[in-house]
Chain A
Amino acid sequence: MIEPATALSVRGLTKSFGGLLVTASVDLTVEAGERRLIIGPNGAGKTTLFNLVTGELRPDGGTVTLFGRDITRIPGWHRTHLGISRTYQIITLFSRETLLRNVTLSLLGRSPLRWNPVARLERQTALMGRAREALARVGLGHLAERPLSQTSYGERRRVEIAMALAQAPRILLLDEPFAGLSIEERRDVLQLVTRIPRDVTIVMIEHDMDVALDFAERITVLHFGHVVVEGTRGEVVAHPRTREIYLGE
């Protein structure tokens, strides 16, 4: 099968909460293998855009197309099986469980095994092995048995990424993966994300433009639900509108 060149295509996507228009007829095209950065001040509608793409929210209008397939009407849980994975800005992991169990749940999410009521989860060695691999990939292999509640914030961010990568997504949506991290932790996470192979398309939301600027080939600037500027790194940084709403303050 030939992979369509466009990974994600959003057309005229609109969403309002009450009278507040948070996504205003957004058009967005992300090519397969691309690294895209979406920036914008707080309240620009970045996370809402992710929620519309993953199906956690229903749009008021517009379409979402994934690798040439219209997924606008497909429920969120099913979109995961079509290759969308995401991380959250506010960490929503299973805090009472171990890191291993967190990643295992993520793997199970894409496996038919999740419906099995008679097998013993502990004995699913192949699954456990993959979960350990995913943890090792983000440098947390040694903490696999530790309850999540006893890990640091930075480690949890990496668990988030491990869980998303464990699902072998075709497109990965990262919602502010650097939020709340120290400078060293940011560097670690950035390295982690940079190492992800090109068969995974990545869209990253970042509030702080400086951190992720080097990461992206193309940048989209959102402001009050509108796409204000879109282009290469150089184009966007040089654009007067970007400076006005973002850099100039």
Chain B
Amino acid sequence: MKRLALAVALAVLAALPLWAGGTFYINIGSQILLYAVFALGINILVGYAGLVSLGHAGLLGIAAYTAARLLNGGYGHIAAVTAALALTLAAAALFATLALRGSGSGIGFVMITLAIGQIVWGVAYRWISITNGDNGISVSSRPSPLGLSLAAPAHFYWATLVVFLVALGSIAMLVASPFGASLRGTRDQPRRMAALGYHVWMIRFLAFILSGFWSGVAGLLFLYYNQFVSPQAVALTASAEALLMVIAGGSGTLLGPVVGAGLVVVMKNVASAYIERWNFVLGAIFVAIVVFMPEGLVPGAARLWRRATARPAAPAVAAVPAPGEGPAQ
């Protein structure tokens, strides 16, 4: 049953360029997937480590800017991508070291990631000799992995789909692994975890690095998709939007960030064509989610589904939260 659903979902996703009906929708598919990779990365920290970051657009931006600079400097795609990821990982290590000082969680973590994100934005905006300031940097070509050009929207979509599936698969593996259990333990009971012999700081640090890695990958997809990067990509609103994707979809769940990314991208691109004040609609949707499904769309829908399918003779089952419900996943 589960395997069948997975196979159907995969087939539908892979065939999207055939049924979506036009370049516009294929590109929306690519955008959803690239933001899903970003949101999945943030979810490692927010959902599984319980550390809320407001600076991850900075990491996305570092990857995108580094690759853009190197590509324009005449380096090949492999060199640019490798260097961009390496620099993003180094930056993530530095950010983690700063943000995990002191108690390493709570409001201090949020504020430090926010400040770091703003510093990156400041560099993107003001250090014109490196970042070209407000004008941003354009890159002329997309890569051709294994000789397949990604210039066409459908080809780029498939490449993004592959990256997305690798991200989703590896994070699913992480969540089910002993390290995933350790990570969730430090979210729920950090003090207890330390007493049980876990190096809480190191576990959080590694989660930050991993989260930074997928943010960097998303940054590269972002750059190649738009063939352009500007300070807007690094701004606080970009970090906040990605965080909202995670929370709206369901933080600490595997598919929540994906659904959240879909929601935001669709609202941005599709609804904005019909409703001028689409931002207002998106805001209203977020409020509705927080009021009616505070755990997020994915766990919330699962809860409603269970309630709807539970036999009316056993109302007590619906009243008691089932094991694993909510962000514990």
Q: Which residues of A contact B (CB under 8 A)?
A: 54, 56, 75-78, 80-81, 86, 88, 92-94, 96-98, 101, 104-106, 108-111, 113-122, 124, 147, 163, 167
Distance in angstroms between the alpha carbons of A108 and B193 in the assembled complex: 10
Cross-chain contact A117 with B180 (CB below 8 angstroms): yes
Task: Evaluate contact between B177 and A56: CB separation under 8 angstroms.
Answer: no
Q: Across the interface, do A56 and B178 meet the contact criterion of CB distance under 8 Å?
A: no
Q: Which of A75, A105, A118 contacts B181 (CB 8 A)?
A: A105
Render B173-195 as a binary contact track against A, CB cut-off 8 A, 1 for contact.
11011111110010011011111
Complex: A193 Cα to B328 Cα, angstroms = 32
Task: Sample 29 A-B pairs with CB under 8 A, ordered by A number.
Answer: A54-B195, A76-B195, A77-B194, A77-B199, A78-B199, A80-B196, A81-B197, A92-B189, A92-B191, A93-B189, A94-B189, A96-B324, A96-B326, A101-B181, A105-B185, A105-B196, A106-B196, A108-B182, A108-B196, A109-B193, A109-B197, A111-B178, A117-B173, A117-B174, A118-B177, A120-B177, A124-B178, A147-B323, A163-B196
Report the minimal beta-carbon distance from B6 to chain A, rounded to whole angstroms. 17
A77 CB contacts on chain B under 8 angstroms: 193-195, 197-200
* Nearest CB of chain B from residue A104's CB, rounded to whole Å: 7
Do A119 and B193 have beta carbons less than 8 Å apart?
no
Most buried by A among B200, B323, B328: B323
Q: Which single residue of chain B is at the shortest CB-CB distance from A119?
A: B177
Closest to B323 in A: A147
Q: How far is the CB of A53 from chain B (nearest CB, A)?
A: 11
Q: Which of B194-248 contact A (CB under 8 A)?
A: 194-200
Residues on B with beta carbons closer than 8 Å to the beta carbon of A119: 177-178
- Count B interface residues, CB 8 Å: 26
Digit string of B308-326 for contact with A (CB within 8 Å is 1, else 0)?
A: 0000000000000001101
User: Roughly how many angstroms separate A86 CA and B326 CA in the complex, as a whole number?
Assistant: 30
Whether the pair B323, A98 counts as a contact (CB closer than 8 A) is yes
Which residue of chain A has its CB nearest to the CB of B320? A150
Q: Do residues A86 and B328 form an inter-chain contact, with CB atoms below 8 A?
A: no
User: Across the interface, which residues of A come within 8 angstroms of B176, CB to CB?
Assistant: 120-122
- Asked whether, in the complex, the Cβ of B178 is within 8 Å of the Cβ of A113, the reply is yes
Beta-carbon contact of A167 and B328 below 8 Å:
no
B positions within 8 Å CB-CB of A: 173-174, 176-182, 185, 188-189, 191-200, 323-324, 326, 328
Knowing A94-B185, A94-B188, A98-B323 are in contact, say whether A167-B196 is a contact too (CB < 8 A): yes
A-chain residues with CB within 8 Å of residue B177 when the two chains form the complex: 116-121
Q: What are the 5 closest A-B residue pairs judged by CB atoms, nearest first?
A: A80-B197, A109-B196, A109-B197, A96-B328, A117-B179
A75 to B194, CA, bound (A): 9
Closest to B182 in A: A114
Minimum CB distance partner of A113 in chain B: B178
**A97 vs B181: C-alpha distance in the bound complex, in angstroms?**
10
A114-B178 CB under 8 A given contacts A105-B185, A147-B323: yes
Q: A54-B195, A56-B194, A77-B199 are in contact. Are A114 and B328 (CB under 8 A)?
A: no
Contacts of B181 on A, CB cut-off 8 Å? Answer: 101, 104-105, 108, 114, 121
A96 contact set on B, CB distance < 8 A? 188, 323-324, 326, 328
- A115 with B196: in contact, given A94-B188, A96-B188, A96-B328 (CB under 8 Å)? no
Q: Which residues of A contact B182 (CB under 8 A)?
A: 105, 108, 114-115
Given A115-B179, A121-B181, does the pair A97, B198 have CB atoms closer than 8 Å? no
Instruction: State A86–B191 Cα separation when bound (angstroms).
Output: 12
Q: Give the chain B neighbours of A167 by CB distance below 8 A.
A: 196-197
Residues of B close to A101: CB separation below 8 A: 181
Residues of chain B within 8 A of A106, CB atoms compared = 196
Q: What CA separation (Å) do A56 and B177 show in the bound complex?
A: 27
